[in-house]
Amino acid sequence: MNLKNSIILTLILLLTTSLSFSQSKKMVKANGFYESGEYLEAVELYEKIYSKAKDKKEKAEVSFKTGNCCRLMYDVNGSIRWYRRAILYKYQDPIANLYLADAYKMKEDYEQAKEYFFFYKDLVPDDPRGADGMKSCDLAEEWLENPTRYELIEIRYFNTKYNDFAPAFAGDSTELYFTSTREGTTGKEINKNSGESFADLFFIRKDKKGKWSEAVPAEGMINTPFDEGSCSLTPNGRTMYYTSCQVISGKDVGCKILKSTISEGKWGEPETVKIFSDTAISVGHPHITFDELTLFFVADHPDRGVGEKDIWKMERKSKSAAWNSPQILGSDVNTKYNELFPTTDGEGNLYFSSDGRIGMGGLDIFIAKPTENGTYEVENMKSPINSHANDFSIIFNPFCDKKNGYFTSSRSTGKKDDIFYFYQKPLKIVLKGYVRNKKNRAYLPGVEVKLDGSDGELLKTTTGDIGDFTFNLSENTDYSFITTMDNFLKGKGEETTKGITEATTIEIEIFMEPNLGPIKIANIEYALGDTILSESSKVSLGELVELLEFNPITIELQAHTDYRGGDKENLRLSQGRANSVIAFLIENGIDKERLVPKGYGESSPVKVDKEMAKAYPFLEDGNVLNQSFIDALPSKENQDICHQLNRRTEFKVLSADWGETYTPFGED
């Protein structure tokens, strides 16, 4: 090697060493930003390192770390771009496939997402996230095709081009606080974690006409140059618990929960809510329950945590008592990943967001219903509450039984958080009814139908030409129906909508008994030649008791025998049987003044009507089943049928206004 070549080689080696050392220092600095959560600064350095890198392994590593920064800043497009590069350069950790699949899912590209979930499942078969991810894509498509009954409205007057999120009621549904990085925040610097201004708490109020005021920063001592947000207020709106996060460059200082009280429209000096003895543990997302006895929050505990960020709670015996030691919720709620933004409704249900469960995109909102054994049953709230993007921080109007409220979603842009209003469309439950004559089954027009709901709803209608009526019913309600018409006893029916979860039409028939002439009581039997009621007869008489309780009538209870046996004996037997029925009715609470027993013996044989003739072809409408008619029948079987028809128990309405009192006109 000549001198010239030796000098050139030395210069090349020195230059290469210098460049490597420079790259190494940049990587250390970039990694420092990444570790402290300053992802914006980290991305800028990683991109510079990537553009200069020659080695594929180094490009793969830088691409993966840049993808991580984008993922943690919820920059979905950036995540896809950098994770794809990491995989292209053969990044060794299969997790890049999982993160790329998650990013595609947040773009609602479920086919691409399933492809990379499959790759991850094939590379790491023991990790359930691959199979779960594929399942989540299929479910997301199914939930999009079959959404729940919630409707969404993006709140234009809340939202800006910046992040607006985490709404909280301030007393009633006409006052809200929320978190925003919009212009006008206290801090003037850019948050290097998010690339936007530091967040402040803002306040907005609805006037009597339903118009929202312009959002203004919360007055007083809450907002600082750093991040404040994700608050929860006591029901009277006087005390606020909120998250406060300081940011110190190069350090991960975490967040804490503060408490402040309002006076004359201004929030006073906050105090730190003491949770862990180790004050370095980051906590946030507080939620105070309606009774103020439980404070839910999120913590990143290095030793006692289930996953990355978990939901915890503290309890106390009274509003003035000290909080008990913090308790982490179990694995029925917390996963190995992130559970965030806990809230509750008035029924004790817990709501939270998670990226560790089967969901539609990034963070999905889940409902956790308490069970008898103290655990929770967790269910995804599905579309349209959840989407391909991040959905979180749901609150329910405390005065509407979970029918409406607000939540946060990044679905509009895929990155920026916005506040949405949601409401539940009424479940269409229709009652289609028909009123019919119990005797001949004819449809009855002109019948008044009254509906009485357990929710206090009272409605009234009249049946149409074919005895039909229609009511729209409410959910989770018991109903009773009363039908009234001249010359008929009242009819009734009962229905419930409890347990109905889909649009439904309920069809019912209500039969009304005409009160003109005797009304037969079916299935009344006695011991042979005796007055003792059989046990099976008491079931039918129970229905008569209900009818008498329901209708203010007095009746003549009529008992009849066939013509076999002596006249006096038949008369005695029928009277005894009538007395037995009356005794049963009195024992079951019917006033004896309403009841007249009458035994007719064999003196009133049955006169065949059209319905009876239809049931017994050997009989004709108008036949009287007296002795001469029955004896003339050629068949003993038909004779026995006629004897059976004559042996009957009936009642006749004597008056339809028992118990009603009238005051003569002009008298008090």
pLDDT in tens, 414-469: 779 999 999 988 889 999 999 999 988 999 999 999 999 999 999 999 999 999 99
The pLDDT assigned to 118 comes to 97
Could you tell me the pLDDT band of residue 252, with boundaries at 50, 70 and 90?
low
Structure tokens at 345: 């409704």
Alpha-carbon distance of 450 to 453, in angstroms, equals: 10
Which residue type is seen at 183? Answer: E
Q: Evaluate whether residue 643 is within a structural domain.
A: no
Output the six-digit token pair for 662: 């009238």
**Domain end (from 129, 145, 161):** 145
Counting residues of the chain whose pLDDT is more than 70, the rounded percentage is 94
Please identify which residue in the block is written with the tokens 């804490």: 256
Task: Read off the pLDDT band of 250 (50, 70, 90).
Answer: low
pLDDT at residue number 127: 95
**Range 651-662 average pLDDT:** 76
In whole angstroms, give the CA distance from residue 337 to residue 318: 33
- pLDDT reading at 10 higher than 60: no
Q: Which residues fall within 8 angstroms of residue 445, CB to CB, at 6 or more apart?
A: 463, 464, 465, 466, 467
Total count of residues recorded for the chain: 668
CA dist 388 and 142 (Å) reads 13
Q: Which of 253, 301, 293 is nearest to 276 (CA)?
A: 301
Please say if the pLDDT value at position 221 is more than 80: yes
221 or 3: whose pLDDT is higher?
Answer: 221
Q: Would residue 618 count as lying in a domain?
A: no
> Which residue is listed with tokens 């005065």?
399
pLDDT tens, residue by residue, 599-612: 999 999 999 988 89
* pLDDT at residue 568, as a whole number: 93
Asked whether residue 406 falls in the same domain as residue 307, the answer is yes
Structure token pair of residue 141: 């498509």
Structure-block tokens of residue 166: 């985490």
Q: Is position 634 within any domain?
A: no
* Structure-block tokens of residue 16: 């290469």
In the block, tokens 């053969």 appear at 90
**Same domain for 434 and 492:** yes
Q: What are the strands, taking DSSP E only, across 67-130?
A: none
**23 belongs to a structural domain:** yes
Among 386, 387, 383, 407, which residue's Cα sits nearest to residue 397? 407
Token pair recorded at residue 332? 């029925």
Tell me the pLDDT band of 347, cut-offs 50, 70 and 90. Answer: confident
The pLDDT value given to residue 251 = 64
pLDDT in the model for residue 367: 97
Our count of domains for the chain comes to 4
CA distance 595 to 593: 6
pLDDT given at position 156: 84
On the question of pLDDT at 665 being above 90, the answer is no
| 307 burial level (CB within 10 Å; 0-12, 13-18, 19+) | middle
CB-based burial label for 333 (10 Å; 0-12, 13-18, 19+): buried
Residue 5: its pLDDT value, please? 44
| 228 and 348 both lie in a single domain | yes
User: Per-residue pLDDT averaged across 371-385, rounded?
Assistant: 95
Cis-peptide, bond into residue 552, ω within 30° of zero: no
Residue 660 scores a pLDDT above 60: no
CATH number of the domain bearing residue 602: 3.30.1330.60
CA dist., res. 418 & res. 594, Å (int): 70
Question: Any idea what the CATH number is for the domain that residue 495 is in?
Answer: 2.60.40.1120
How confident is the model at residue 23, as a pLDDT? 59
Q: Give yes or no: residues 367 and 311 share one domain.
A: yes
Are 389 and 361 contacting, i.e. CB atoms less than 8 angstroms apart?
yes
For residue 204, name the pLDDT band (cuts at 50, 70, 90). very high
Q: Is residue 631 situated within a structural domain? A: no
User: Which pLDDT tens digit goes with each residue over 325-339?
Assistant: 999 999 999 999 999
**Res 129 pLDDT > 80:** yes
- pLDDT-based confidence at 18, cuts 50/70/90? very low
Mean pLDDT, range 183-202, rounded to an integer: 86
**In terms of domains, do 198 and 130 share one?**
no
Residue 536: domain span:
519-606+648-655
Has residue 641 got a pLDDT over 80?
yes
Quote the mean pLDDT of the chain.
Answer: 90
Q: Do β-strands 429-437 and 504-512 pair in parallel, antiparallel, or remain unpaired?
A: parallel
pLDDT at 481 over 60: yes
- Top pLDDT among 149 and 2 is at 149
Beta-strand ranges (E) seen in 356-499 are: 364-370, 376-380, 391-396, 404-409, 418-424, 429-437, 448-453, 458-462, 468-473, 478-484, 491-496
Q: Which two tokens stand for residue 657?
A: 């206004």
Q: What is the mean pLDDT of residues 11-40?
A: 68
Q: Say yes or no: 140 and 155 in one domain.
A: no
Please report how the helices 567-587 and 535-550 are oriented relative to each other, as an axis angle in degrees rounded to 10: 60
Tell me, yes or no, whether 169 and 310 share the same domain. Answer: yes
Place of tokens 């595609």: 104
Longest dimension (CA), the chain: 151
Residues 495, 391 share a domain: no
For residues 538 and 313, the model is more confident at 313
247 CB contacts (<8 Å, ≥6 apart)?
191, 192, 193, 198, 226, 227, 253
